[in-house]
Amino acid sequence: MREIRYRKIADDLRERVEAGEFAAGRTLPSESELSASYAASRITIRKALELLREEGLVDARQGFGWFASVDPLRQALGRLGTIEAQLVASGVHSERRILDFGFVPAPPRALEVLGSETVLEVRRLNLADGEPFARVTVWCPEELGAQLSRADVERAPFYELLAEPLGGAVQTIGAAVVDPVDAGLLEVPLGSPVLRCERITSTPAGRPVLLSEHVFPAHSTEFVVDLPMAERSIAPPGMRLVD
């Protein structure tokens, strides 16, 4: 009976996924919620979900739960570029929504990096094919951001708007747990894993002009780095231990 039961639950969940009730990358109800709604044991529910995973319809990540399968959006780190440009190059429709725009006292990290006591702070939500993809906050020294409007940063990236020439950037990527605000914006469960990236963009002379923080859902984002042959090492270039 249990064998037949889990297949019937899998059939019903399959129809719900294929009908679009759960958008790609969005979470399914938890196993306990499914257990209650189908009046079945957690073991039966898990067998049904595992069957759908074998079919490629759903997947699971530690700390995230079950979700409708999605091909991770890949970002190459070999050259300086924007999220939007890479999404468009992959055939994905990119959209940005400005959440906050204003001149504020520089947060400690922005003051340390940019050396400006007042900064333009822009917080936005990036979407890929209509789905939340990243929460991005950018800080810019007051004198460089004074000529920018909310409409400017909504239509184009800072790289295209700044009068200063850009020489390159240093990007640091680490794992984190999503906070309540970003969980709501990115539509992921509270406490689920995210990738947090800090990028410092500088002029050719080495003056930092942009500090940005990017938060990505870990289950739907991959970073790709080409590693040319170099000296022998036990660790990839750029890796460092966190205190």
* List of domains in the chain: 2-68 (1.10.10.10), 73-224 (3.40.1410.10)
Place 29 in a pLDDT band, splitting at 50, 70 and 90. Answer: confident
pTM of the complete model beyond 0.85? no
pLDDT on residue 1: 46
Checking if the pLDDT of 237 tops 90, the result is: no
State the Rg of the chain over Cα.
21
Percent of the chain with pLDDT over 70: 81
Contact present, 199 and 212 (Cβ < 8 Å): yes
Strands (E), the chain: 58-61, 65-68, 73-76, 94-105, 118-128, 131-141, 168-177, 193-202, 208-217, 221-224
Is 74's pLDDT higher than 70? no
| 23 vs 113 pLDDT, higher one | 113
Give the least confident one: 12-21, 138-147, 184-193, 212-221: 12-21
Closest listed residue to residue 34, CA positions, set 58, 62, 70: 58
Distance CA 102, CA 13 (A): 45
Query: What is the predicted pLDDT for the residue at 66?
Result: 81
154 pLDDT more than 80: yes
